[in-house]
Structure 1
Amino acid sequence: MRYKLTGIIIMIILMFIAACSSQEGSANYESSGDKAQNVDQEAGTTAEQSSSAADDAANEESETATDGANEPSSERMVIYTGRLAIHVPDYDEAQNQITDKIENTGGYIVESTTREIEDNRRSGHISARIPQAEFTNFMNHLDSKNVKIVEKSTQGEDVTEEYVDLESRLTSKEAVEERLLTFLDEAEDTEAALQVSNDLAQVQEEIEQIKGRMQYLENHSAYATVTVNIEERRINIPDIENEESLNTIERTQQLFMNTINALMQFGSYLVVFVAGMSPISIPLLIIGVIIWLRQRKKKQSSES
């Protein structure tokens, strides 16, 4: 009986050990499967990150541009343009005064033209860039006793939003440029490097265009453009000679010369008239002579 009880206890112990070993193997198997699954997921994630790098760059550019556009600007950028039309008695004097005033404000002349008009008068225009701080003063204090302003206009264009948008685009494009440079260094074959180089060249070209537009806005908002049209308006007063101060000989000579000039002018008009009417007057004269000769011949025949 004792041996049977001992055998039963040993069998129960062996069965318990076998059950524990089975559970441990199952647990180890499940742990190994989980590890493999995690490795596969990590590999898939890495591949997805590598394939979507360009998309991330584009999204980053879009988000940066949107955030930059929503940021308020503390200083407004305005491009001012002014136009003046003036009448002056002396063109050279007015041109020199305007040139000196432009230089005193710290501006510079872009274009200057002069042309002759009727009565030996001149007109022209001066196109200049004036610092924005001096623009209003220049437009309001050009009038003087020798300068008459006949037209004045001022125009302003607010380019603040455009400049802020350009700043945001520049930041995002530079971020894309840095990422493409990284991709170019990590390219494993020639085809991939060529593709990245083409994308990089396009991005760099866009960066240069954005910088050029920003420089244009900065310059034109810092310096206003002013165009001054100048027209000379002189009043010619003829010299009035005092005839009482002339002696008899001078008055006689003056009358003689006036008479000669009048006769010469009349003779010139007469020659022009005769020469101009010759296609008609000469045939009429010939016909008249023929008729007169026939009438005279008839008269002589009747008298004889």
Structure 2
Amino acid sequence: MNCKKMMCIFSIFLLLAACSSNENEDSVSQSEDEKASGKMDVSFTSIKKPEEKVTEKEENTDERRVIHQAQLEMKVKNLEKVQLKIEEKAEEYGGYVIESNVYRENEERTEGTITVRVPEERFQDFLAFSESEASKVVGRNVTGQDVTEQYVDLKARLKSKRTVEERLLAFMQEAKKTEDLLRISSDLAAVQEEIEQLTGQMKYLDNQTSYSTITITMTQDMIIVPGIDNEELNTWERTKKQLATSANSLLKAGSGIIVFIIGNLPILIILGIAGLLVHWVMRRRREK
């Protein structure tokens, strides 16, 4: 009996030792799992955070947008030739001509104006080319308007309006009453109109910043050399013309004398008789 009791006690002791060892192993394995999961979480966050930083950086860095404009005033030797070269260069750079005109103030001065738009990256190249075609640059004015903040604001407002549009579309699908549908449709139409306006403003800024505007005023001063007419070198023709002119003048003068005498003949006769009487009276007085 004592042996049997000792055996039972010994077996119970072994069972208790085995259970405690299993619990220790489970706790150790659980702690190791927790450490491993902790390591995984740490590694996950360490990988995820840089991605979030890159995303924020990409969202916060917008390309700077500047509207460039330039006015050039220059003198040229051949206005038509320079104007044609400027138009060809603008087309070569991927730009286009907005306006081109030429007008002449007088025989000694001709002026022309041309307005072109060229891609922003070729702005300085086009200015340098235009100035190289001038005989003298009289004036140069370059301006730039930074619209980056305005563009970013429009972009943020557009994103917000699109979010509202998505919510209204979701509400419209869930709405069951006609009144709710009408109210949501009205709000949706107003939001979509604002989206179109914002989109149009952004497209306008994109166009203005993608292309620069250059206005060039050109002046050509012409030197007039007096020419010699061939008719002035024809001596014989000029002589005959002068002779005919002189003869006509004489005939005209003679005709005038004849007309004067005949037309005033009665008066001339009276004056002649009066003159003879005066002469006779004076002569008689001398004789006495």
Q: TM-score range by the shorter chain?
A: 0.5 to 0.7
> Equivalent residue for 1:205?
193
Provide the rounded CA distance (Å) in 1 between the counterparts of 2:148 and 2:96.
Answer: 25
The answer for the alignment partner of 1:103 in structure 2 is 91
Which residue of structure 2 lines up, in the alignment, with residue 227 of structure 1?
215
Is 105-114 or 152-161 further displaced after alignment? 105-114
SS of structure 2 residue aligned to 1:134: helix
- How many angstroms apart in 2 are the aligned matches of 1:72 and 1:254? 89
- Partner residue in 1 for 2:169: 181
Report if aligned partners of 1:73, 1:160 keep a CA contact under 8 Å in 2: no
The answer to whether the 8 A contact 1:77-1:158 is kept is yes
Are 2:143 and 1:155 aligned?
yes
Deviation of residue 193 (structure 1)?
0.7
SS of corresponding position for 1:85 = strand
Return 5+ residue gaps in structure 1 as ranges. Answer: 1-67, 265-291
TM-score, structure 1 normalization = 0.56
Q: Partner residue of 2:155?
A: 167
Instruction: Give runs of aligned pairs for residues 38-117 of structure 1, distance below 5 A.
Output: 72-117=60-105
Q: CA deviation at 1:211?
A: 0.7
Q: 1 CA distance for matches of 2:209 and 2:218?
A: 26
What residue in structure 2 maps to residue 55 of structure 1?
A: none
CA drift at 1:98: 0.9
d(CA) in 2 for partners of 1:154 and 1:220? Answer: 15
Change (3 A) 1:255 1:177: farther
| 1:167, distance to aligned residue in structure 2 (A) | 0.8
Q: Output the CA distance in 2 between the equivalents of 1:137 and 1:259.
A: 69
Note if contact 1:73-1:164 (Cα within 8 Å) is conserved in structure 2. Answer: no
Q: Which structure is larger by alpha-carbon Rg, 1 or 2?
A: 2
Identity %: 39
Aligned Cα root-mean-square deviation (Å)? 3.7
Q: Cα offset for 1:186?
A: 1.4
- Partner residue of 1:218? 206
Quick one: distance in 2 between partners of 1:145 and 1:133? Answer: 21
Q: CA deviation at 1:220?
A: 1.1
DSSP-derived class of the 1:235 partner:
coil
Number of paired residues? 198
Residue by residue over 1:241-265, the C-alpha shift from the partner in whole angstroms, topping out at 9 and shown as x without a partner, is 9xxxx6xxx446447768999xx9x
Superposition deviation, residue 95 in structure 1: 1.4
Q: Secondary structure at the match of 1:213?
A: helix
- Residues 238 and 215 of structure 1: is their aligned pair in 2 closer, same or farther, counting only changes over 3 Å? same
Distance 1:139 1:259, change over 3 A: farther
Q: So what's the TM-score if we normalise by structure 2? A: 0.58
1:146 CA drift (Å)? 5.4
Residue 114 (structure 1) shift: 2.8
2:115 matches 1:127: yes
